[in-house]
Amino acid sequence: MAYSGPFQPGDRVQLTDAKRRHFTIVLTEGGVFHTHKGQIFHDDIIGLDEGSVVRSVQGSEFLLFRHLLVDHVLSMPRGAAVIYPKDAAQILVEGDIFPGARVLEAGAGSGALSMSLLRAVGEKGEVFSYEIRKDHLEYAENNVDEYFGGRPANWHPRLGDFGEVTLEDLGGPVDRIILDMVEPWHFMDTARNLLIPGGVLMTYVATVPQLMNTMETIRGLKCFAEPRAWESLVRDWRVEGLATRPEHRMNAHTAFLVSARRLADGVTPPRPQRKARR
């Protein structure tokens, strides 16, 4: 699949009609897409630039763009709930996922975060994705393979328990660890042993009790700097002249994110100074 340039066979294309309904096709030579507004021939799309318009045999117009990563994540098959784009974006930036990084994620789910991580680390980086459930791992593998048009050479999906992972399994320590699991606080010792000093640990948890247990466990180990917790809320706006207003529906709470930096071996973190209560 190409990311830019004229459409070519193998591209995943999103067609949008006049009512803003979306339809997705994968281009093949000689292919035909059947709609209630008539047939659309793939050969009429191949060779066009993105942002073009194609007409069905009945004359209806459809706007053409390639699938963005966000489109693929929200429409792909899933066995487990995905990390939504608003949270994946926070993980990439707050977790400082850089080109060439070695990243380990535990809880591959349906592969949504794996795609974002693979694009961020580039060809010189590596992503290790551990999943304890075989059916979830199969979803992740199928979704990632479909998006990239094959298995990325630097992606290592593995069926297994994160708590049993060793440095030998990874070929050395990793730069970043992301935990998307029900009880991540049980695996902080493992994360400490696998993470390079200065590396970033991030967790993705849905409820307040999970958040509290995660934060207190990180603090209790005394091998991480003071952890930070937050959530991201996204709200669209409808902009129509004097009727401009926020949308009634919004992407509110999905999960809490927690991040912490690993300290050097043998270092005790300074005790946080908090204001005295009046």
Token output for 140: 């992740």
Count, residues in the chain: 278
Q: Is 116 annotated as a binding residue?
A: no
Q: Is 248 annotated as a binding residue?
A: no
Token output for 15: 């067609």
Which residue(s) pair with 43 in the sheet?
none
Per DSSP, helices labelled H in the chain are: 69-75, 85-94, 112-121, 134-148, 167-170, 188-194, 208-221
Q: Is 183 annotated as a binding residue?
A: no
Q: How far apart are CA 201 and CA 179, in angstroms?
A: 8
Q: Is 11 annotated as a binding residue?
A: no
For β-strands 155-159 and 126-131, DSSP reports them as parallel
Which residue(s) pair with 8 in the sheet?
none
Chain centre distance of CA 77: 14
Q: Is 232 annotated as a binding residue?
A: no
Q: Is 150 annotated as a binding residue?
A: no
60: helix, strand or coil = coil
DSSP string, 70-108: HHHHHHS--SSPPPPHHHHHHHHHHTT--TT-EEEEE--
Per DSSP, helices labelled H in 95-201 are: 112-121, 134-148, 167-170, 188-194
Q: Is 172 annotated as a binding residue?
A: no
Contact (Cβ atoms closer than 8 angstroms) between residue 120 and residue 92: yes
Q: Is 110 annotated as a binding residue?
A: yes
Residue matched to tokens 């071996």: 265
Token output for 36: 């209630």
- Binding residue numbers for S-adenosyl-L-methionine: 110-113, 131, 136, 161, 180
- Binding residue numbers: 110-113, 131, 136, 161, 180
